[in-house]
């Protein structure tokens, strides 16, 4: 079951989205003249450093400020994300999502694989992999125990930056390319009362010029904020300092960003969060042609 993804309708303060769209469209013809420049340098050259920083903040994606992200890459990212596509010629694109979540889909795929003879061993962490004669010896940790597994052939489907932690001489023995990653953080909040509707925020996304960055209001069910890069690290650090500090910061930043007319945020009923240290993987050579798989 699926439905139209609602979060292409962005709410922003002070006409920021319209200004962002007009600025990005006016500068787009100049991108080809700056193939190697970062997006930040590109914007700064035409708009000045202060305005460039404001424009980048208005996109909601901290990663666009990275030196590795060229102007061409940034425009491609902005075009292909539902929250920012309205700032480009892709404004009319329709997205879809699984109404029951993707757990149902993954469960269905797992049942098909089990029927085909695949064995799943979940919650194992690969610690090391060594050559042992004609085989490979894999060492796993599982619920506090160390387990060994022999295999003739091994196919790894894992983030490149996770491979760097294994004894596989990665990437030197595998690829001439270098890899890096960005952290992600998502926080979910539910409330006793469905107050989003009174503010006209149901099924909309609010851009926030604070560490919450992008705030999504799912009908009257829950509120979600989604961040990357430095903002994701801010929330990771907040969580590590304790739930009380984390929730206090969430409340404070929500009250900054929302049109509450001076009223306090309604009480939070429950919450859930997830931090991915390697949420987005990427190559450090964006213009090079990369293989779809690495063989070693």
Residue 292 lies in a domain: no
Measuring CA to CA, which residue among 82, 94, 69 is closest to residue 2? 94
Question: What is the pLDDT of the chain when averaged over all its residues?
Answer: 91
Under the banding of pLDDT at 50, 70 and 90, the label for residue 285 is confident
Q: Are 114 and 79 within one domain?
A: no
Measuring CA to CA, which residue among 2, 1, 44 is closest to residue 23? 44
Q: Are 83 and 14 within one domain?
A: yes
pLDDT at 171 over 70: yes
Q: Are 128 and 168 within one domain?
A: yes
Q: Are 196 and 166 within one domain?
A: no
pLDDT, tens digit, 9 for 90 and up, residues 104-139 = 889 999 999 999 999 999 999 999 999 999 999 999
Q: Are 196 and 132 within one domain?
A: no
Under the banding of pLDDT at 50, 70 and 90, the label for residue 11 is confident
- 242: burial class by Cβ within 10 Å (0-12, 13-18, 19+)? exposed
Domain count, the chain: 3
pLDDT, tens digit, 9 for 90 and up, residues 246-260 = 999 999 999 999 988
Q: Are 119 and 86 within one domain?
A: no
Residue 159 belongs to domain with CATH number: 3.50.50.60
DSSP letter assigned to residue 167? S
Domain of residue 156, residue span: 102-178
pLDDT at 253 (0 to 100): 96
Which of 94, 114, 149 lies at the terminal end of a domain, its last residue? 94
- Name the residue with higher pLDDT: 153 or 68: 153
Q: Are 184 and 215 within one domain?
A: yes
Between CA 223 and CA 284 the distance in angstroms is 34
Using DSSP, state whether 105 is helix, strand or coil.
helix
Residue 287 lies in a domain: no
Between CA 248 and CA 235 the distance in angstroms is 12
Q: Are 148 and 198 within one domain?
A: no
pLDDT, tens digit, 9 for 90 and up, residues 190-235 = 998 889 888 889 999 998 889 999 999 988 889 999 999 999 999 9
Residue 290 lies in a domain: no
Between CA 106 and CA 124 the distance in angstroms is 18
Residue 295 lies in a domain: no
Q: Are 201 and 226 within one domain?
A: yes
Q: Are 153 and 217 within one domain?
A: no
Residue 261 belongs to domain with CATH number: 3.90.660.10
Which of 159, 178, 197 lies at the terminal end of a domain, its last residue? 178
pLDDT at 37 (0 to 100): 92
Residue 131 lies in a domain: yes
Between CA 284 and CA 178 the distance in angstroms is 5
Q: Are 206 and 275 within one domain?
A: yes
Q: Are 230 and 257 within one domain?
A: yes
């Amino acid at each position: 079951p699926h439905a139209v993804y609602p979060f292409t309708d962005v709410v922003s303060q002070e006409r920021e989205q319209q200004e962002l769209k007009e600025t990005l469209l006016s500068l787009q013809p100049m991108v080809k003249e700056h193939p190697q420049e970062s997006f930040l340098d590109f914007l700064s050259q035409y708009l000045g450093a202060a305005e460039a920083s404001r424009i980048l903040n208005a996109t909601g994606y901290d990663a666009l400020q990275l030196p590795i992200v060229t102007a061409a890459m940034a425009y491609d990212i902005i075009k292909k994300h539902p929250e920012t596509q309205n700032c480009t010629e892709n404004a009319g694109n329709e997205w879809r999502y699984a109404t029951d979540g993707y757990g149902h889909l993954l469960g269905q795929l797992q049942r098909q694989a089990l029927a085909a003879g695949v064995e799943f061993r979940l919650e194992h962490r690969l610690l090391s992999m060594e050559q042992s004669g004609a085989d490979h010896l894999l060492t796993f940790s599982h619920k506090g125990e160390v387990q060994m597994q022999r295999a003739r052939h091994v196919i790894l489907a894992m983030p490149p930056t996770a491979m760097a932690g294994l004894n596989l001489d990665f990437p030197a023995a595998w690829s001439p390319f270098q890899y890096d990653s960005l952290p992600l953080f998502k926080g979910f909040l539910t409330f006793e009362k469905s107050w989003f509707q009174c503010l006209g925020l149901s099924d909309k996304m609010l851009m926030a010029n604070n560490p919450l960055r992008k705030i999504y209001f799912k009908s009257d069910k829950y509120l979600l904020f989604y961040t990357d890069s430095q903002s994701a690290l801010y929330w990771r650090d907040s969580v590590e300092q304790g739930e009380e500090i984390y929730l206090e910061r969430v409340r404070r930043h929500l009250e900054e960003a929302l049109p509450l007319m001076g009223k306090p945020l309604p009480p939070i009923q429950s919450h859930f969060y997830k931090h991915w240290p390697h949420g987005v993987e990427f190559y450090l050579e964006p213009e090079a042609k990369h293989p779809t798989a690495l063989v070693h």
